[in-house]
Amino acid sequence: MTDREPTARRGRLRVEGFESSTERSLEDDTAWPRSVERDREQSRTEGSVGRSRSRWRDIWRRFRSDRTALLGAAIVAILTVLAVFAWPLEVTTLGYRITLQPFALAPYDPGELYVGPTNAGPSLAHPFGTDWAGRDQFSRVLAGGRYSLSIGALAVALALCVGVPLGAIAGYVGGWVDEAIMRVVDILFAFPFLVLAIAIVAVLGQGYWNVVAALVITGWLSYARLIRGEILSVREAEYVTAAKALGASDRRIVARHVVPNAVAPVIVQATLNVGTVVLAAAALGFLGLGLSPDSAEWGTMLADGRSSLLQGHWHITVFPGLALFAFVLAINLVGDGLNDALEPRLEDGESRTAHRGSRTHDVERRDR
Amino acid sequence: MTDPLLQASDLSAHYTTTDGFLERLLGIGDTVRAVDGVDLELSAGETLGLVGESGCGKTTLAQTLVGLREPTSGSVTYRDKPLAAWSRAALRTNVQYLFQDPLASLNPQQPVTDIVSEPLAIHDIVPADRRDDRVATLLERVGLDPLTANRYPHAFSGGQRQRIALARALAVEPELLVCDEPVSALDASEQARICNLLADLQDEFGLSYLVVSHDLSVVEHVADRIAVMYLGEIVDIGPSDALFEDAAHPYTEALLSAIPEPDPCWTGERIVLEGDVPSPIDPPAGCRFHTRCPVVIPPDEFDLEPAAFRSMLTLRKRLEVGEDDWLESLVPRDGRHGDTATGTTEAIRDRFDIPSPLADPEAEAILERALEAIVAGNVGGASEQLGAAFETPCETIEPELQAEGDHRVACHRFDDDRAGDRRSRPSE
């Protein structure tokens, strides 16, 4: 620099090195520290550069890599298989008896009285012992899964069918529709979950479908609220505007951008809720408001076993309780794994644990 | 001049602040005049820079220009045909938009291949079996490794994300690319690289750009012409050389002076604008910049220094706000001026940098009377007195864009009958 006179003129000093010629050599900078090798490997095996993978395959790949979630899924699968094949499933219509499922894993008919001594402890003949009426506990726990699991799955599925469309409509349409739906949700939310369920069963009366109805009426609220919030935030997201700028049709925007981004938390919430609903059904059963007292439902069995427990017969409550515990725990593990799998941002291992803590906590708090 | 590619005439875009159940019920809410009567044209192959402070309506204007937002009034034409008359597919394959925040504008649930091939699929530009190859070409063109196309946006750095967004916009082979703050989310070296990339792409594909930025130095680097925006209006527009050589509008001058200069021997003066940008809900009358303009025109009747008049105008604007106990907040009772009436008027003068006495005796008398009224507690009266006595065209008449040399400026100092005022520019 030769000219050091003070001046008000700009541009005497220039910073060099950002010109296009130098940029080429800097290009290698765009480093790919991690897993680029994996991508290369994959491209090679797939035979094409950058072949697109489907979203669901990616999600499955991420879920598979989570051992605890896999364990949870395995427990759920085993319990489901046991429940389905525990005792033959028969439907009677128009006088015909159609056997849907002929297998019987359970050694005894779960409803048959006095297959052994009453209140006997675990033995080879009756691994889980027998109850006060001499029914085989092992058979009852296996078959009882039918009620608990089907109530959980049905109630959550029906609640989703009610809550998701209503919440989505509230979020999309906005205005008065939104106000109307969300005020109803607010009012129902004002009642404690279990108290409302008890009140509904008390009005409708006992029975399988009435319990399901009570759980649906109390269960759809959280989905409606959740999906509405998600849709409100996704609708305003810049990538939706970006899709509009690309000329995408409304249908494409909803299918490709809004739904995939809004639905993930709902799936996670629904999975976790299966556990909650099973617990709630058991609680109703325990309070004597669920199924009829002699039915083999885990909650009802716990209620029956209460008096036996006082007499020192621990096995009557422990085994149905363990089954309930195992199922709810497994469902929570699966929900947790889904939470991570549905969120591509959590793909890299190190951020996973930290992020999971906060997300799960959120979901659980919404649960209450 | 050839026919403009994109033209806006008297374009306005207003928002309403009405929000929520109660406000909707009662119908309360203000109108935010984000863009207010803008005329703009963009020729084929040129780069137009749009600069302005944040909140002045740049993004709203840019989004309205490409039809992402409905204008409140006025019209936008692309190739002499109103935007509404274009089919969505035809418009979107000609005009593309690059967003400010690349992470927000990329769907986090889609891998890069899907993101970049989406426009190809929407407009069926490339048959499905060749899309992957096309995506790879596009990614290579913007300087990304096509082997990383299976990764999700979160795995990329800011600059790489902006390149992905750029590849997506280029996929439709547009004629016009509107870039909304394309580099403001990036670090300095990445800014320069993206700017160079934009320039290379322009040479290669004959693109036209509208580059929106708050940073004049970025716009200088890429733009052929620059439009300066203040509070929803274009105040200065012209070729970038002319604008940088000889800034005409006082706002442009202030913006230019704010560009950092690496030269340690540089003695240029930094013009600091007083106060904040006024609210676009209720923009100032006349010239919208008059509340902050350092060279606001003094009334002809008096012989006043522009600086002294600026100070008096600031005082009056403050009086009009009319806060409670504003006198205490204005004049700290530090005992320097005593508690007498004269002491307080002196303190007010000090606070607002008003010379004592003013050069013009007649003006001095009016000011003194007003100051005494303030001390007596008659704030409204004082402000009215000052307003009636010192009337500036900046406050009453809205300036039109008028040719001044190479550029067009909306400022009363360039009115024909005021040619003399220009000579008294403080920065020269």
Tell me: the pLDDT tens digits for A158-197? 999 999 999 988 988 888 899 999 999 999 999 998 899 9
Mean pLDDT, residues B4-28 taken together:
79
Q: Which of B243, B227, B254 is nearest to B426 (CA)?
A: B254
Nearest chain B residue (CA) to A248:
B122
- How far is CA B288 from each of CA A151, B104, B296, B374, B418, rounded to the nearest angstrom? 67, 33, 11, 27, 19
pLDDT, tens digit, for every residue of B339-382? 566 777 777 888 788 887 787 888 888 888 888 887 777 777 88
> C-alpha dihedral over B383, B387, B388, B389, to 10 degrees?
100
Residue B124 · residue B171 · CB < 8 Å: no
Contact A249 B108 (CB under 8 A): no
- Which residues in chain B have their CB less than 8 angstroms from residue A48's CB? 132
What is the spatial distance between Cα B354 and Cα B307, in angstroms, rounded to a whole number?
Answer: 8
- ipTM confidence score: 0.79
Domains of chain A: 143-367 (1.10.3720.10)
Q: What are phi and psi of B237, to 5 degrees?
A: -145, 135
pLDDT value at residue A23: 47
Q: CA–CA separation, B52 vs A150, rounded Å? A: 62
Which one has a higher pLDDT value, B94 or A286? B94
pLDDT of residue B48: 94
Chain A: closest CA distance from residue B144 (Å) = 8
What phi-psi label fits residue A95: left (phi over 0), alpha (psi between -120 and 50 degrees) or beta?
left
Of A6, A18, A50, the CB nearest to B146: A50
pLDDT single digits (tens) B275-313: 777 888 888 888 888 888 888 888 887 888 888 888 888
- Interface contact flag, B107 A8, Cβ < 8 Å: no
Distance of alpha carbon B196 from alpha carbon B259, whole angstroms:
20
Burial letters B315-350, b for 16+ CB under 10 A, else e = bbbbbeeeeeeebeebbeeeeebeeeeeebbbbbbe
Over the range A214-236, which residues count as b (16 or more CB within 10 Å of their CB) and which as e? bbbbbbbbbbbbbbbbbbbebbe
**A–B CB contacts, 8 A cutoff, strictly below:** 163
Question: What is the spatial distance between Cα B36 and Cα B117, in angstroms, rounded to a whole number?
Answer: 37
In contact, B214 and B52? CB cutoff 8 Å: yes
- Residue B138's pLDDT is what? 93
Contact B114, A244 (CB under 8 A): no
Nearest 10 degrees: CA dihedral of A163, A169, A172, A178? Answer: -90
CA-based nearest residue to A46, from B140, B60, B348, B149: B149
β-strands B407-409, B233-239: how paired? antiparallel
**Residue B110 to residue A55, Cβ atoms within 8 A:** yes
Give the nearest chain A residue to B20 (CA atoms). Answer: A175
Collapsing DSSP to helix, strand or coil, B3 comes out as coil
What's the Cα-to-Cα distance from B5 to each of A321, B2, B62, rounded to whole Å? 74, 9, 15
**Cα of B171 vs its chain's centroid, Å:** 30
The terminus-to-terminus CA distance of chain B in angstroms comes to: 33
What is the chain B residue with the closest CA to A180?
Answer: B21
Partner-chain residue, chosen from B68, B132, B152, that has the shortest CB–CB distance to A51: B132
Region of poorest pLDDT, from A44-58, A329-343, B333-347: A44-58
Which residue from B117, B148, B193 is facing A32, i.e. has the nearest CB? Answer: B148
Tokens of A9: 């003129």
Residues of A in contact with B149 (CB under 8 A): 49-50, 52
Question: In angstroms, rounded to a whole number, what is the distance separating the alpha carbons of residues A226 and A224?
Answer: 6
CA-closest candidate to residue A103, choices A121, A118, A82, A119: A82
Residues 6+ apart with CB under 8 A from A364: A272
Bond from prior residue into B357 cis (ω within 30 degrees of 0) = yes
Cα angle: B3, vertex B4, B6; to 5 degrees: 145
Q: What is the distance in angstroms between the CA of the first residue and the CA of the last residue of chain A?
A: 70
Of A19, A238, A243, nearest to B101 by CB-CB distance is A238
Q: What is the pLDDT of residues A272-326, one digit of tens each?
A: 888 889 888 888 888 888 787 777 888 888 888 888 888 888 888 889 899 999 9
User: What is the spatial distance between Cα A367 and Cα A310, in angstroms, rounded to a whole number?
Assistant: 33
Helices B131-141 and B158-170 pack at an angle, to 10 degrees, of 130
Question: Residue B381 — φ and ψ, nearest 5°?
Answer: -60, -40
Q: Say which residue, A118 or A39, is predicted with more confidence.
A: A118
CB A219 within 8 A of CB A160: no
Q: Which domains does chain B have, with CATH numbers?
A: 4-18+30-223 (3.40.50.300), 306-391 (no CATH)
Binning pLDDT at 50, 70 and 90, where does residue B399 land?
Answer: confident
DSSP letter for A238, please: H
Q: Tell me if B76 sits within 8 A of B61, measured CB to CB.
A: no
Set of chain A residues whose Cβ sits within 8 Å of the Cβ of B267: 6-8
DSSP per-residue codes, A122-165? --SSSTT-B-TT--BHHHHHHHHHHHHHHHHHHHHHHHHHHHHH
**Which chain B residue shows the shortest CA-CA distance from A240?**
B105
* A57 burial level (CB within 10 Å; 0-12, 13-18, 19+): exposed
| Inter-chain CB proximity A256 and B136 less than 8 Å | no
Residue of B nearest to A175 (CA): B21
